[in-house]
A and B are shown apart, each in its own frame.
Chain A
């Protein structure tokens, strides 16, 4: 806990309270965006605006019980996070207060007036120091390493804006985050380097330069990786009405995507969902390293019943933590579930400030704030020369499931990939319920080379082929809905059959099936190959006039649909075998047909 109140001379008094918005007078000497302590309970707040002596404050805790005339104390700094070892594997509220620590203190329900607790200052860490006196350090330079968890080496960096010559440095050993590790001298000014640094949440951390996006974020989810790929450093929006599986999709991405660090922001969502992550993630193993997934995950929880102003801050807290780990050279993925709740928090505060509302009561700056947030994603060259990325995946909860509402539309304008969840598919229990006609990914062209080098040169081509079949099917379904399937000619019915295989056998993926929850890329490619092969052979048979009833072999078709569940030990053989079976089957019916053993009936 940081006690600064006694040093302060500036003092304001509360004169107005309305929900999370508090106003106080005598605030001439305060700064806009300064963090303040409000009232006797020292609730944490942030100044939004100042007008003459009158300051408007948004308070991050429950304001019930505040009395007129109580004091407001300044802290002389903007709302900032403490960044250092102790973040990974932890769960924080919207302003980085550790919920597990609050629970250990005996609070099953979150009280007000906890003050500014943050990451643990007493815990000691094994630090490997990597500088000597005499070294010249630039901002961002990594000067020490801490093995924070089994999966993350926490690299201790010189904070941005600080540089100089090392005057003294401690030896490698065990230290806490508030111990001084080294002292720098810049033009006679001394500066102590510690394991932790502070950074204001609303200000992006500086980088050397932005780099082009060209690497796939592998998620193991077939519909995403193959059809609507996400990129490291990219952005994605996942809109969907309730019950369409936004949270499950976000959880799947948090579990299986190949980022180094996951920051999961539960913004205005259900308490039980955070509990689920807390219970599940430590038990799940990373497919590559076999370490518990919690060892690379940070949770920010502001559930729907926690104070609304802290919900507004929570996504900035999350992305600031992400930037800090990016600076170490990691690929970070940020899941924000859900940005609509954040937008609603903006709306609620704007309403209490009596600001002029724009569309649906949201403030006019909604779109620009959203853009600012998503623009903190990207692939970067850091100050210290390392490369790191932040991928932002935001869930959107459109009111009434209607995608024309402002949050969905503003998000759609900014993000690079748009994974539209569909209520009809969800009702049919087709999960992930990503609609393949209304979703898109702008990263395909940027990832073309990556796919070519890492998977296969015809991966993108196969994808387009499948997309074409699905689109064709959609057109045909309009007719089928009116006249039934039997009326269509066989060359169109074969498209319906193949589209059915793509939908059931490929797009549907069971998040709870031990074989199906994750499909690596080579397997995805092989599966596509099999379906592509089946389509080619079946289609050419139709063109030769062979009736569909012969072409559709129930056993073959159902084995291809079920291939996703096939846990054959000799993985390498499964798909070539299927391809052989396809060739064998169609060779035989083609030759039978040539010999005239199959007639038109």
Chain B
């Protein structure tokens, strides 16, 4: 028999405090009924003898201390899942909002998930061709990877994510068995509509599951939105053997929600007021990507975050970069020069790339040529800095070639149309073409045998 409590002692911001509660369970979900009408969901975040602190996902506004009833469920938050979730739209707490009815299933899943056993993991090695040269050539996306996009306000991260969804091809496998889980946290309605439109246009809408917590939805719900979505993704990947691409946007809004609840609980803040456990909390989301030995499915995560003030050392991108397997960094000045996608490859990185490219995966020359293009483009930056001071005409001949390399790299390689889909060999050939601009003795990263085969052909 579940006990109903009819009195609370304190309501402030997102928190409720109740005293003299018996048998409370840490992390359990409570149902809060206001004036006999509205229901809200809360979670027990601290127990101190009889005193229980509850975090209310929809906030406490409108709650009166007496006209309320609270029922403790005794269980952590769960959602019910079945294959019927494909093509459906849910709100931030996992309830359907598309008017097509509840999901009926006898399987309920704890949204917190559990850490994957490293022994059970399968190291990701198969690349996903995105048709975008900067990514395929230099920041290869691997199935089962978590590769976030570090962006800024006003940069085209949504288009980039949409283009990846549109063009992504998993080489060497049937492509029918894939699904997209889309998680919106604090983004605007028009952004959500943009994604919905892209999914419809590409005809994948019946393979997409959307979890929407938009900018005007309750802020605290944002903390459970990605957890519901990732639980759904795990279900699809590891029980239905599907290849799932999870797009999470915007992680910065998620972290701000976390900061809000932390400051309401008067916790000791660390950098910029974010809680000390931000790293662990983000890891609980990102580490849910990957593959398992005995399962055919996979979870690939593309999280989008907007760097406040374009600052990559801000705690959100910083801690994200420490957890994820690389990052794709968008650059404002490239975008202003009219280059789409404005990916600055130098600070970008794909950690899993080294094991997913080369002879058995893409092409034998890939590791060498990528390495050389990186190193040449970084030299371009030095030369450009010098040219700004002494003028391009004063540069040495080699340096002038680097200037040309830099220009062509951005105009021909980085720049790509939203509709343009380049396959991997096109991308690699283009890289060799660019390297031919440079004198051969500058190409110290190329194995002599490969130079013979590809450079001079």
Contacts and interface: CB of A to CB of B under 8 A. Distances in A.
Nearest to B26: A17
A199 B238 CA distance: 40
Interface in B267-297: 267-271, 275-277, 279-280, 283-284, 286-288, 290, 292-295
A351 interface: yes
A589 to B, nearest CB: 19
Given A64-B27, A351-B267, A484 B287 contact: no
Interface stretch (A95-103, A186-194, A202-210, A572-580): A95-103
A427 to B, nearest CB: 4
Interface stretch (A377-385, A399-407, A454-462): A399-407
B441 A278 contact: no
B322 interface: yes
Contact of B313 (A271, A348, A401): A401
A271 B115 contact: yes
Interface stretch (B10-18, B196-204, B378-386, B412-420): B378-386
B276 A99 contact: no
Contacts of A402: 313
Given A103-B117, A483-B390, A271 B287 contact: yes
Given A65-B25, A304-B323, A429-B378, A486 B396 contact: yes
A319 B357 CA distance: 36
B349 A243 contact: yes
A64 B26 contact: yes
Contact of B292 (A66, A108, A243): A108
Interface stretch (A125-133, A141-149, A171-179, A558-566): A558-566
Contacts of B363: none
Contacts of B349: 243
Interface in A78-115: 91, 99-100, 102-103, 107-111
A568 interface: no
A241 B355 CA distance: 22
A304 B290 CA distance: 14
A554 B442 CA distance: 10
Contact of B118 (A301, A399, A562): A301
Interface in A301-320: 301, 303-306, 308
Interface string A261-293: 000001010111011101100000000000000
Interface in A478-510: 480-486, 504
B374 A275 contact: no
B158 to A, nearest CB: 24
Residue of A15, A270, A348, A430 ringed by the most chain B CB atoms within 10 A: A270
A233 B26 CA distance: 45
A102 B117 CA distance: 8
B114 A68 contact: no
Interface string B1-43: 0000000000000000000001111111000000000000000
Contacts of B322: 242, 397
B436 interface: no
A357 B283 CA distance: 24
A66 B26 contact: yes
Contacts of B448: 562
Interface in A389-442: 397, 399-402, 423, 427-430
A446 B309 CA distance: 48
B300 interface: no
A272 B374 contact: no
B321 interface: yes
B113 interface: yes
B292 A305 contact: no
A109 B287 contact: no
B24 to A, nearest CB: 5
A557 to B, nearest CB: 8
Interface residues of A, number: 77
B408 interface: no
A303 B115 contact: yes
A431 to B, nearest CB: 9
A68 B24 contact: yes
Contact of B325 (A62, A111, A272): A272
Contacts of A480: 386
Nearest to A304: B283
Interface stretch (B56-64, B120-128, B210-218, B421-429): B120-128
A527 B118 CA distance: 40
B375 interface: yes
Nearest to A429: B374
B115 A103 contact: no
A504 B442 CA distance: 11
A558 B114 contact: no
Contacts of A279: 123
B327 A341 contact: no
Contact of B279 (A19, A107, A344, A561): A344
Contacts of A401: 313, 318
B338 interface: no
B394 A484 contact: yes
Given A67-B25, A400-B313, A401-B313, A110 B378 contact: no
Contacts of A278: 118-119
B346 A427 contact: yes
Contacts of B50: 68
Contacts of A272: 121, 123-124, 144, 290, 325, 352
A53 interface: no
A240 to B, nearest CB: 11
A503 to B, nearest CB: 10
Interface in B361-399: 367, 371, 374-375, 378-379, 382, 385-386, 389-390, 394-396
A15 B119 CA distance: 36
A384 B31 CA distance: 64
B82 interface: no
B49 interface: yes
A107 B117 contact: yes
B116 interface: yes
B326 interface: yes
Given A103-B120, A562-B444, A16 B279 contact: no
Contacts of B287: 270-271, 303-305
A360 interface: yes
Residue of B238, B280, B346, B378 ringed by the most chain A CB atoms within 10 A: B280
A427 B347 contact: yes
Contact of A17 (B46, B115, B390): B46
Interface string B65-90: 00000000001100000000000000
B34 to A, nearest CB: 26
B231 to A, nearest CB: 12
B346 A561 contact: no
A66 B353 CA distance: 42
B321 A242 contact: yes
A103 B286 CA distance: 21
Contact of B276 (A64, A268, A306, A351): A351
B378 to A, nearest CB: 4
27 contacts: A17-B47, A64-B27, A67-B24, A100-B119, A110-B117, A242-B318, A243-B327, A270-B323, A272-B290, A275-B118, A275-B119, A278-B119, A304-B280, A304-B287, A347-B276, A351-B268, A351-B277, A399-B319, A400-B318, A423-B347, A428-B346, A429-B378, A480-B386, A481-B386, A482-B389, A562-B444, A562-B448
Given A108-B238, A348-B277, 7 more contacts: A16-B46, A18-B47, A64-B112, A69-B23, A110-B114, A399-B318, A401-B318
List of 4 A-B pairs having minimum Cβ-Cβ separation, nearest first: A304-B283, A400-B313, A242-B321, A428-B378
